[in-house]
C-alpha cells in the first residue's frame, strides 16, 4: 500500500513543503510514483520518516540525520550518546535559569520598587549589565554570602539606597583623588580607601573578609562590567582598576597572618567555589528591581 504526500503530511504532522524538501535533499525520497508522476510513499518510506522525525526531535541537523541513516550501525549510538549529554547540559542550564527567574520574582515581591525617575535619582550614572547579573547569579547561586547579600539588598528602602549610594560616591571621590595625586597604590592612604570599601560591603550587604575583598578586586580588573558598577565609565582612568586591586591586596596583607600574606602577594588570588560577593553599593543596587545581581 502507498500514500500520497498529502496523506503522509497528515499522518506525520509535518507540512507538504517539508516532505518536498526531504525529497530534494535525498533524505527521504519516496520509492514510488503514480501514473501521473506524483510521489507515493510506501510503508518503508514511512518507517524512515519516523526515524527522521525522531532524530529531529532530539535536535539533530538534517545532515547529521542523513549520516546516521546512511550507516546506522556505525555511528548512531555514539551520536545518541553525545546528544544525550548535550541535552542534559541544556536541561541543567534551563533549570538554573528557572531558579534565576524565581529569585528575581522573590526580589520583586519583597524588594524596593523604584520608578525610572527614582532609580535615576538614587543610582545616577551607575548602570548595570543584565548579562553580568545573570552570569553572577548562576555562578554564585549556592553561595551563602550571595544569598545574604540578596536578602539585605532586597530589604533596603529607597532612603537606604540613597544613603548607600551617597557613601559610595564619597568613597569614589577619595579613590579618584588618591589616584590623580599619584599616591602609591600600596601606601597608607590607598590602603585606607580599600579598607573603607571593604567595610562598606560588610555594612550594607554581607561580611567581606580580606580574602573575599581581593577576589572582588580581581573581578574589577578582569571584567569591565564589574568595575563600571563601582566607577562609572565617565570617571574611569586608565589603570584605575589595577590601582584599586593593588591597594586592596596591600590592605589584605596588612590584616592577615604572614603565611597567608605570601599567597596574597601572587599575581592573582584564587577564586574558590562557593564564595559569593557583592562588589559595591552599586553592584547590588539593581537587586531592588528584581535583577538578582551579586557575585
| The predicted structure's pLDDT at residue 271 | 44
**pLDDT category, 120, cuts 50, 70, 90?**
low
Taking the whole predicted model, whether its pTM rises above 0.75 is answered as no
| The predicted structure's pLDDT at residue 274 | 38
Model confidence pLDDT, tens digit, residues 177-190: 999 999 999 999 99
3-state secondary structure of 158: helix
Strands 3-4 and 32-33: unpaired
Q: What distance in Å separates the CA atoms of residue 128 and residue 37, rounded to the nearest whole number?
A: 63
The residue-averaged pLDDT of 114-136 equals 57
Q: Which three cell numbers stand for residue 136?
A: 553572577
State the chain's mean pLDDT as an integer.
77
Sign of the CA dihedral with 149 first, then 226, 156, and 99 last:
negative
Q: Which residues contact 180 (CB under 8 A, 6 or more apart)?
A: 237
- Cα separations (Å) of 66 from 18, 27, 45, 47, 61? 15, 6, 14, 14, 9
The residue-averaged pLDDT of 125-142 equals 60
Q: What distance in Å separates the CA atoms of residue 51 and residue 56, rounded to the nearest whole number?
A: 9
Model confidence pLDDT, tens digit, residues 215-236: 889 989 998 888 988 898 889 9
Question: Is pLDDT above 70 for 291?
Answer: no
Q: Which residues contact 201 (CB under 8 A, 6 or more apart)?
A: 208, 213, 216, 277, 278, 279, 280
Model confidence pLDDT, tens digit, residues 143-165: 777 777 777 777 777 788 888 88
Model confidence pLDDT, tens digit, residues 43-68: 899 989 998 998 888 888 898 888 88
**pLDDT category, 84, cuts 50, 70, 90?**
confident
Amino acid at each position: 500500500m502507498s500514500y500520497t504526500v498529502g496523506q503522509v503530511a497528515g499522518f506525520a504532522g509535518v507540512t507538504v513543503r517539508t516532505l518536498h524538501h526531504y525529497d530534494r535533499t535525498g533524505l527521504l525520497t519516496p520509492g514510488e510514483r503514480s501514473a501521473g508522476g506524483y510521489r507515493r510513499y510506501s510503508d518503508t518510506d514511512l518507517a524512515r520518516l519516523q526515524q527522521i522525525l525522531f532524530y529531529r526531535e532530539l535536535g539533530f541537523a538534517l545532515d547529521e540525520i542523513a549520516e546516521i541513516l546512511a550507516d546506522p550501525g556505525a555511528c548512531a549510538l555514539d551520536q545518541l550518546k553525545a546528544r544525550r549529554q548535550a541535552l542534559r547540559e541544556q536541561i541543567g542550564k534551563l533549570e538554573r535559569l528557572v531558579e534565576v527567574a524565581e529569585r528575581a520574582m522573590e526580589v520583586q515581591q519583597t524588594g524596593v520598587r523604584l520608578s525610572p525617575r527614582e532609580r535615576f535619582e538614587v543610582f545616577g550614572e551607575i548602570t548595570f549589565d543584565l548579562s553580568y547579573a545573570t552570569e553572577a547569579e548562576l555562578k554564585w547561586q549556592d553561595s551563602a554570602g550571595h544569598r545574604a547579600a540578596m536578602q539585605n539588598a532586597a530589604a533596603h528602602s529607597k532612603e537606604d539606597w540613597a544613603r548607600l549610594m551617597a557613601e559610595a560616591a564619597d568613597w569614589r571621590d577619595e579613590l579618584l583623588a588618591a589616584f590623580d595625586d599619584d599616591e602609591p597604590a600600596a601606601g597608607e592612604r590607598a590602603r585606607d580607601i580599600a579598607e573603607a570599601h571593604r567595610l562598606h560591603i560588610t555594612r550594607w550587604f554581607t561580611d567581606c573578609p580580606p580574602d573575599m575583598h581581593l577576589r572582588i578586586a580581581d573581578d574589577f580588573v578582569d571584567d569591565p562590567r564589574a568595575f563600571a558598577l563601582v566607577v562609572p565609565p565617565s570617571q574611569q582612568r586608565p589603570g584605575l582598576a589595577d590601582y584599586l586591586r593593588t591597594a586592596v591586596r596591600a590592605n589584605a596583607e596588612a590584616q592577615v597572618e604572614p603565611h597567608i600574606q605570601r599567597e596574597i602577594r601572587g599575581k592573582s588570588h584564587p577564586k574558590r567555589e562557593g564564595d559569593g560577593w557583592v562588589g559595591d553599593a552599586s553592584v547590588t543596587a539593581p537587586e531592588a528591581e528584581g535583577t538578582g545581581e551579586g557575585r
